[in-house]
Amino acid sequence: MTRLKVWDLPTRLFHWGLVVLVGLAWWSVSVHNLTFHRICGSLVAGLLAFRLWWGLFGGSTARFGHFLKGPGAVLKYAKGLIGHAEPASGHNPMGGWSVAALLTLLIAIVGFGLFAVDVDGLESGPFSNLVSFEVGRTASHLHDLMFDGLKLLVLVHLAAIAFYAVVKREGLVRAMVDGKKALPDTAAPLAPARIWALLVGLAIGAAVAGLLIRLSN
């Protein structure tokens, strides 16, 4: 077993940036600071746009094609979970789908937020002027509902991390910090992305975030 590189820096920054920004978005709404909430949401949208790009052109372990496996692989992994499954280089077949679900929920939350209108008709998302008050209210309820779903999924995510730490003795948090994970010497390490892919991804993310911030306030 050696500690091999499994997560590239952009993927790690995306992960922790998301944790911080979703946390701030949650906090800002609880103190009724919707201006700051829209900034957080816009930045999350930028991160998600980057992540979608990175899922196609990023480092090997960040690519959707790398971690979205068929039901056979998922089932096989689930059965091996109790026994002696090899630690995965990147997302394991179950974790991969959990990532897909997290990303889908986040996209839905941001998407509904763009059109959401609060009960007073005072605060609203940047595209709410394109919809009626009623549609904006529905978008707001769905924005809420999807966030409840996200909280649930984050709990599952944390429970899985705890399970791996205690039962499987795999430090997933540390891997997401320094990018390295203890793997058998035969495991395939990360194949990093090209620099142009990173630059294009950063440009897409910055454009999305910048545009939404401009439209929001």
Partner 1 sequence: MSWNWTLRAGAATLVLATAVSAYALDAASVEKARSDYFHSVGKAMKGSGDELKKPEPSMTDVKAFAATLDKLAPELVTHFPAGSGPDAGIKTEAKADIWTRPADFKKAVDAFTTAAHAYNVAAQTGDAGATRTARMALGKTCGGCHDSFRNEEHHNH
> What residue ranges bind partner 1 (CB under 8 A)?
32, 117, 119-124, 128-129, 133, 136-138, 141, 144-145
Q: Name the one residue in this structure whose structure tokens are 């993310």.
A: 205
CB of 144 to partner 1, least distance (A): 6
Q: Determine the distance from the C-alpha atom of residue 41 to the mean position of all C-alpha atoms in its chain, rounded to a whole number.
A: 13
Backbone angles phi, psi at 102, to 5 degrees: -60, -45
- CA nearest neighbour of 115 among 97, 94, 90, 135: 135
Q: Closer CB to partner 1, residue 206 or residue 213?
A: 213
CB of 149 to partner 1, least distance (A): 12
Q: Closer CB to partner 1, residue 148 or residue 178?
A: 148
Q: Name the token pair of 113.
A: 């937020």
Q: Closer CB to partner 1, residue 120 or residue 185?
A: 120
- CA nearest neighbour of 94 among 176, 159, 12: 159
- One-letter amino acid at 38 equals R
CB of 134 to partner 1, least distance (A): 8
Q: How far apart are CA 77 and CA 95, in angstroms?
A: 10
Q: Closer CB to partner 1, residue 2 or residue 35?
A: 35
SS3 (DSSP) at 169: coil
CB of 45 to partner 1, least distance (A): 19
Q: Name the token pair of 115.
A: 């059109």
Strand partners, 182: 3
- One-letter amino acid at 56 equals L
Q: Closer CB to partner 1, residue 10 or residue 136?
A: 136
CB of 121 to partner 1, least distance (A): 3
CB of 159 to partner 1, least distance (A): 25
First to last CA, the chain: 52
- CA nearest neighbour of 94 among 110, 75, 113: 75
